[in-house]
Amino acid sequence: MDFLKKLFAGFFRRQRPKLIALTAPSGAGKTTIARHLLKTFDELEFSISATTRDKRAHEVDGRDYYFLTKAEFEEKIANDEFVEWEEVYEGQFYGTLKSEVERILRVGKYVIFDIDVKGATSVKRVYGDEAMVIFIKPPSPEVLFDRLRKRKTESPASLEKRIARARRELTYEDKFDRILINDDLQTALSDAEQLIRKVLDI
């Protein structure tokens, strides 16, 4: 009987997700929540995305992103090296390398993604129950759009494109495993911690 208990316990442990994707429209807070979880749980490791966009002054290749040329990115697409990829804005490609996921799993860590909604859909399609996707939802679309406007980091035309994209992405919430509302940040961080504790069984 003890043997059977151990066998089934081991089986259910293996069924726990090994990949955790946080997804949301820009401005909903997924990056802030992801950073908090990484500081809180040593068991997690961040999946670094690849991108063709220009590297910003404070960013480091291999830490913030894998910065690729468009030709390099397209070669990896042709070689089926991505779990998912997308041309998020014209001329700007983002994607998750299969080698990055495999690297993290090899060292016995749980993979955490900070990823857009289409990418999260692909992760779920590829990994199924091995992946848990958490949609970070703003309290309302108006609050989200106001957050984006207050950033003041973009031209009016670029901002309008981002708001239009966010409006579309808000329609994806029912496609994912969990919805976490980010109205009050401290509450959202606490709720996110509880979700991760269940996955880690701690």
Does domain 17-200 fall under CATH 3.40.50.300? My reply is: yes
- Span 125-169, pLDDT tens digits: 999 999 999 999 999 998 888 888 887 777 888 888 888 888 999
Domain residue ranges in the chain: 17-200
Alpha-carbon distances of 144 from 100, 137, 168, 169, 182, rounded to whole Å = 31, 9, 13, 12, 10
Closest CA to 169 of 126, 116, 114: 116
- Span 11-62, pLDDT tens digits: 444 557 899 999 999 889 999 999 999 999 999 999 999 999 999 999 999 9
* Start-to-end Cα distance in the chain: 25
Of 161 and 75, more confident: 75
Average pLDDT value for residue range 54-80 = 96
Average pLDDT value for residue range 75-102 = 94
